[in-house]
Amino acid sequence: MVTIVKKFGGTSVGDVTRIRNAAKLVSDHIKKTNDKVTVVVSAMAGETNKLIALAKSCVSEPTLRELDVLVSTGEQVTIALMAMALNELGHSAKSFTAQQAHIATDRNFCKAQIQDIDSLNLKAAIDCGIIPVVAGFQGIDADGDITTLGRGGSDITAVAIAAALKADACYIYTDVKGVYSTDPRVSSNARLLPQVCHEEMLELASLGAKVLHPRSVYFAMAYKIPLCVLSTFEPDAGMTWIVKEEELMEKPIVTGITHRTDEAKISVHKLPAESVALSTLFQAMAEENIYIDMITQTGFDGKNTDVSFTVLDEDSTKALEIVKKMVPSLNAQGVECDRNIAKVSVVGIGMRYHSGVAAKVFQALASENITVQMISTSEIKISVIVPRKYWEVAVRTLHDAFYKDNVEISEEAA
């Protein structure tokens, strides 16, 4: 018998009408296929933000442990309502908190990572013909404290549970029809992609595509879980399967164009051109859990160099303060922060087998006189930092440049 996991995001369960609609989708699937289904849900849309705002209205700096206790209640409401809705439709359903589902995490409050899922409770329920309805986004650490997984954490929960149950597939229901070649709100020429491989989706998610959390894609790739992204409101209007590369029916040179406008660039001027200086600088960032994305080095004169790196906007003030304090000890000249930047990326598995992609990227940007400030590449992506005011033009221009004649890579060439 087929085992699947169905995950419904906050918009999909935004009110009781939508919860009943999601429950009907589950019910219809079971009646049609007789599959064993486990459901994972997020909090209702906006509920987590309301709870965070509530905490900040009470105290200026909520302690992270108590904040996790508070925000985790959003999912507890949804699992109970979803189980009720499924029961009313004639199914036997039971809600599971993270503790009841045995979702073990580390102790990193608000940004915890799943370490293990003991699936015995879930399997026992399934074997008894019960539909488990599991709270996404939350876990339990070794001390028994409630933790949360950060934004998009319900995706991670769903795929992790699919891995623990050795499920045949994990369906992610959202408010869009699937994964597009770029943001359809930016380009009217955006195309719904029927298939994307795990590596491409991991890059797309990391580089700004908000359909799936990057760690959920990593789980799916590591445990070989097929993912399907589809709309809760138009489930028959199309979908995207995230599969292994060898299962792709098509291999376009470029699969998608993504963007991020939530990063800032920090530049350290006249830093001594010694590895120890770079080590000291980035060790200080690591100790404060500040994630570094892109790094470039310019103006090398044999003794000194200018180093620029990007961080999330939310970390930029903290990072700037740290570097300012370090400037004297690093023997650097100074530091500045530029928040008026955007990262635009071109992603495609076919880039492995085709030359000229970089040339086409820069030709397209040059045609719109868009200045490139930083560049980062891998086998299947090219990312550039551009002035933030030009990001929409950059996305549309690059999408049109590659999708105008986006040839496919044949199996022979691959």
pLDDT digits (tens, 9 = 90+) for 277-302: 999 999 999 999 899 999 998 877 77
pLDDT: which is higher, 80 or 405? 80
Q: Is the sign of the CA dihedral 398, 394, 190, 411 positive or negative?
A: positive
- The per-residue pLDDT for 70 is 97
Does the structure show a pLDDT above 60 at 12? yes
Does the structure show a pLDDT above 80 at 247? no
Does the structure show a pLDDT above 60 at 167? yes
Q: Where are the domains of the chain?
A: 3-175, 263-338, 343-403
Does the structure show a pLDDT above 60 at 72? yes
Q: Distance between CA 372 and CA 296 in Å, rounded?
A: 12
pLDDT digits (tens, 9 = 90+) for 339-388: 999 999 999 988 888 888 999 999 999 999 999 999 999 889 999 999 99
Is CATH 1.20.1250.20 correct for 343-403?
A: no
Q: Distance between CA 181 and CA 194 in Å, rounded?
A: 10
CATH of domain 263-338: 3.30.70.260
Instruction: Say what the alpha-carbon torsion angle 145, 149, 150, 156 is, to the nearest 10 degrees.
Output: -160
Lowest mean pLDDT among 97-101, 167-171, 236-240: 236-240
CB 314 within 8 A of CB 339: no
Number of other residues whose CB lies within 10 A of the CB of residue 70: 18
CA-only gyration radius of the chain, Å: 23
Q: Distance between CA 157 and CA 149 in Å, rounded?
A: 9
CATH of domain 3-175: 3.40.1160.10
- The per-residue pLDDT for 163 is 94
State CA 74 to chain mean position distance. Answer: 20
